[in-house]
Chains A and B, each alone.
Chain A
Amino acid sequence: MCVVCGCSATGAIEGSAPVLTPQTGDLHFGAGTARVSVPGMSQERAIKLEADVLGANKLVANQNRTHFASHGVTAYNLVSSPGSGKTTLLCATIEALKQRAPQVRLAVIEGDQQTSHDADRIRATGVPAIQVNTGKGCHLDAPMVAAAFARLDLHAHSHGHPHAHPHTHTHTHGESHDPHHPHDDLHAHPHDHDHTHPHDHAHPAPEALLFIENVGNLVCPAMWDLGERAKVAILSVTEGEDKPLKYPDMFAAAKLMVLTKTDLLPHLNFDMARCKAYARRVNPGIEIIELSANTGEGMQTWLDWLLDAPVQDAKATPPTALQDRIQQLEAELAQLKALQT
C-alpha cells in the first residue's frame, strides 16, 4: 500500500481484482465472477438502507443502560485529554465517597491504549477496576463496556442477590394510617420543594456508581454512547481556556464540565470566566464544577452532583432535561421582556 495516500500500488483487491488491459492501462472491475449471471441474483440494482452507522453501538449502549438500571448502577463516562488528572480525581473521589456515602458501591472501568497502570492505581484504593486496553483504538465502545461490566463485582453482587435492593421508599404513617390519604406528608408541605428537603422519593441516592474512564482523547469518545447517564468532560486549568472551542463536539456531548487542578490557578494565566463562557457557547446547558483533587476544594460539590443524580431511568431523565430547558428559556424570555420595558 502506498504510504502517502493509502492507494493500492499492487493488486491488493485480490478477491475481485480488476482486470488490467495491457495496451491502454484500463481497469475492468466487472470482469470477474461478478459478471457471471447467478440464478436468483439480479443485475445492478439499488438497495435503500437509511441505516445509522452507529446503530449497532447504540443498541448495545441501550442494553448497557437497561442492565445498569436493573443493577441499581449509575454510570458516568469521564472524558478528557491525556493528563487532565482523571485518575487522580477518581482516586480522590473514591476516598471521599467512602467517607461520605459508604453504602454506595463503587467500581471503575479504565480505558487506555496500553498498560494497566490506571486500573492498578484504582485497585490500590480497594475499589474493583477492570482495565480495558483498546490497542490501537482511540475510544471505548459499548460492547467493550458490556464485556467489562460483566466482570465487575457490581454485576456479580446483584446477580447473587436478585431481590436485595427493591426501591426503598417505605412510608411509615403510624397507627392512624388512613388509606384515603396515603400521602398526607406530601400535602402538608405543598410548596416546600427546595433542596433543603431531601427528596427521597424523587431522587433515591444511587446504590452503585460506575465510573468509566475513557481513553484520553477529546475527539473520538464524543461519538460513542456507552450506556452512561452522562458524559463528564474533565478539563485541567493547565490546558488553556479555549479547549471547549477547539473540541466543541465533546463539550457539546457532555452534561458536566469539571475544571481540575484549580490549586494551580495562582501560577497560571487561566481565564476562568472566559473558559466557562466558551463552554456555554458550545453547550448552553452544560453544568460546571471547579475543584482540586489535591486540596479537596470543590470536592463536596462534585460529590453532591454524583450522589444527587437520580437512579438511571430512561423514563425519568428526559422530563428533567426538558424542565431545565423550559426554565432556561423562561428566564431568557423574562430578561428580554425586562429589556423592552
Chain B
Amino acid sequence: MHELSLAGGILRLIEQTRERDPFERVTHVTLEVGALSGVEVESLRFALQAIAPDTCLAGAEIEIQEPPAQAWCLPCGQSVPILQRLDLCPQCGSAQLQPTSGTELRLVDLQVI
C-alpha cells in the first residue's frame, strides 16, 4: 500500500533532477529495491505506471533490480546472501543471522531525451 507514496517520492526525485538538468521526458528508469526494503516490486511498478500519465515519466520503461540482502552468519563467521528476513544461512542452516544490508531503496539512473 505504501508503494504509491514511494512512487510519488520517486517522481518527485525525477522532477527535481529535471529542474537542475532539463530534459523532455524519461525513457528508462532504473530502481534498486533491496530484498529487505519492505517494498513489493510489482506494486511499486503498478504505482509508478498509475502516476506516470501527464508527467515526464509517461511511457518510461521501468527496470527494477532486486539485489539480495547480506547477513552476517555467527556460526560461519562470514557474510552470506539472503532473500528475506526469515531465511536460514545458505551454508550452515543456522538462524543466527544479522542482516547487514538489503533495506535500500534507490533511484539508480535515468535515460532521458
Contacts and interface: CB of A to CB of B under 8 A. Distances in A.
A282 B85 contact: yes
A205 B8 CA distance: 40
B107 interface: yes
A262 B27 CA distance: 55
Given A51-B13, A252-B85, A13 B59 contact: yes
Contact of B110 (A14, A49, A55, A220): A49
Interface in B76-97: 84-86, 95-96
Interface residues of A, number: 52
Interface in B1-31: 1-2, 5-6, 9-10, 12-13, 17, 21-25, 27, 31
Does more than half of chain A's interface fall in helix, strand or loop, or is it mixed?
A: mixed
B49 A7 contact: yes
Contact residue range for chain B? Answer: 35 or more
A33 B27 CA distance: 14
Interface stretch (A103-111, A133-141, A177-185, A313-321): A133-141
B54 A49 contact: no
Contacts of A5: 46
A1 B47 CA distance: 13
Interface string A268-288: 000000000000011010000
B59 A57 contact: no
A219 B13 contact: no
B101 interface: no
Interface of B: 1-2, 5-6, 9-10, 12-13, 17, 21-25, 27, 31, 36-39, 46, 49-50, 52-55, 58-59, 74, 84-86, 95-96, 98-99, 104-113
